[in-house]
A and B are shown apart, each in its own frame.
Chain A
Amino acid sequence: MDLAFTTYLVVGFTFAIYIGIAIWARAGSTKEFYIAGGGIHPIANGMATAADWMSAASFIGMAGLIAFMGYGGSVFLMGWTGGYVILAMLLAPYLRKYGKFTVPEFIGDRFYSDAARIVAVICLIICSVTYVIGQMKGIGVAFSRFLETDYATGLYTGMIIVFFYAVLGGMKGITYTQIAQYCVLILAYTIPAIFISLQLTGNPIPQLGLGSTLVGTDTFLLDKLDQTVQMLGFPEYTTQTRISTLNMFAFTASLMIGTAGLPHVIIRFFTVPKVKDARSSAGWALVFIAILYTTAPAVAGMARLNIMQTIEPSPGQYLEIDKRPDWFRNWEKTGLLAIEDKNGDGRIQYSADPESNELVTLDRDILVLANPEIAQLPNWVIALVAAGGLAAALSTAAGLLLAISSAISHDLLKSTFMPNISEKAELNASRGAMALAIAGAGYLGLHPPGFAAGTVALAFGLAASSLFPALMMGIFSTKVTREGAVAGMLAGIGITLFYVFQHKGIMFVADWRYLEDWGSNWFFGIEPNAFGVVGAMVNFAVAIAISQWTPAPPQRVRDLVEDIRVPVGSDVLHVDH
């Protein structure tokens, strides 16, 4: 069977499963639409959270980033997993105890203010929309590359699939499809990794393979990798720092607290039955995430070594252009890989020096996508990788779209503008909001703003600086006031956006920036993507300072805070608003 046909078969099969689930898991009430009825088993929720969480960036992008950043890429590994420890201890159990439908709803009640709720909705939409653009792009790219459709057709197909299960089933449909999508994406990620680890090191477990010796030699894989990259003039793989130690520190911290503050992840913990389930479910989520996250560095190191050994089979002996393998030619067609024989010797010289480097384009995303081809794995493995990339993008897009649409229908419509709307009307409104959100995300996917490449990392900075501090202070302090919380959120997200804008361009229009994009005029040498932690500190400081000067929260709010800290007990005190 040829590759295109196999790919259609595998991707078509997974899509049929998703649509089948959509028809089976329709939502009949707002409780089912927003929180899947609240009865999801903690392990099942952990699996759905893992798919919700791992986006196209984790599946396709991350190993490529690590492959080229070496040790510096660790910020993504630690940052995107360490956040779950914060979530499990500092947020999820108490928000689950509170037992409502959305994140802005908690902020509105705890800070006894519709203004706080609306500011939280705005922050949520800014974070989630920045994030969802990356997913829509991922869907379009995966389709156009593997199914040879054009980008727009791919995007529309993806939107129709999401429409089916997200509009019909809400959180209920999304939960069960995410479980199926997790299974697809984790198989698609680990199977090629196991094969490649076996080929290179003889050890089938990639996590161990990365620390093993190469087949038939006494040389450790990582030592070989360090030598090879250094010979070409690149920094040593295992010690290459990202900009500076302080920057690595800030970047890791921003990703961690951003992870804990992302609304589409938090609302997943509203779907489990009990507070203790919210705690253990975070652990299960991280187990399922870690299967991919501990495999990714192995994929990164091995793919980098594979590519370099393809181009330079033995020291000083470069690959002849006429003899380059088929995968090389296939990826050249996409423009993600390009060669230029600068010295006219008919061979491809690869070097860190841009003057003599002849591998002029090597897109980072290729590493995961082309990995099975480079390792000469069978066609069904390549098809599975395509289905896995689509599963990762679709599952995250659906989760984000639910966070956006429930904020619109529940926080804006039901609670602020049309409080007398009936349950049935709210359910219809939430379906309408979901359809609108999908259309909006599709539009942005078709006309991606110029900054789309950096968007995902940016979403974390925004969540870290706005929602996370407000939620944490809402739970851990009885003293922070509504004025403090609103000012804190605005200051945190404001300063983070300002810092990003001055280096990346106002509203991301590159021509509108007034400071250099890279390297200079950085606050303590912290890159814009890593600034969320500074924004969060500003948020905390502003909120606490203003709370000293404004009237203390009313007694019922202090009772509410005491109440959410205990799994059962004084819950006669639920606040009506």
Chain B
Amino acid sequence: MSHLSEASAREYWRRNKALMFKLGLIWFAVSFGCGVLLVDVLNQIHVGGYKLGFWFAQQGSIYTFIALIFYYSHAMHKLDKEFNVEERD
């Protein structure tokens, strides 16, 4: 069982929050941005039979959400190792 110093616990949490903020921006951009606020602009672009804004709202945002969670999970696993707070079996 490892123990974090107060300073490194704070640093670990800060890095976690910075990562969440970065991924949160992408989360907002693909759904509320591309899917709602900018939908009319993006609909001018066609990809196959899809208007791009419509595609983001009904397909693209969902694929991006999956990528975001796995990226977060992967990056946090690395951070856990770096701070030696990974759970052991």
Contact = CB atoms under 8 A, between A and B. Distances in A.
Interface of A: 66, 71, 73-74, 77-78, 81-82, 84-85, 88-90, 93, 207-208, 210-213, 220-223, 238-239, 245, 248-249, 252-253, 256, 274-276, 279-280, 282-283, 286-287, 290, 293-294, 297, 562, 565-571
B85 A569 contact: yes
A238 B65 CA distance: 22
Given A222-B49, A222-B50, A568-B1, 4 more contacts: A82-B65, A249-B32, A249-B36, A569-B2
A569 B11 CA distance: 14
A279 B69 contact: yes
Contacts of B88: 568
B63 A290 contact: yes
B54 A238 contact: yes
B49 A77 contact: no
Given A239-B54, A567-B85, A248 B36 contact: yes
A89 B17 CA distance: 9
Contact of B87 (A81, A248, A274): A274
B20 A90 contact: yes
B49 A562 contact: no
Interface string B55-73: 1011101110110111011
B9 A566 contact: yes
A88 B59 contact: no
Most buried by A among B3, B27, B54, B86: B54
Most buried by A among B4, B40, B47, B65: B65
24 contacts: A74-B57, A77-B62, A82-B27, A88-B72, A88-B73, A93-B76, A211-B47, A211-B50, A238-B51, A238-B54, A239-B51, A248-B36, A249-B36, A276-B87, A279-B77, A283-B66, A286-B62, A286-B66, A290-B62, A294-B62, A567-B80, A568-B2, A569-B85, A570-B4
B54 A279 contact: no
Contact of B65 (A66, A84, A90, A239): A84
A245 B73 CA distance: 32
Nearest to B76: A279
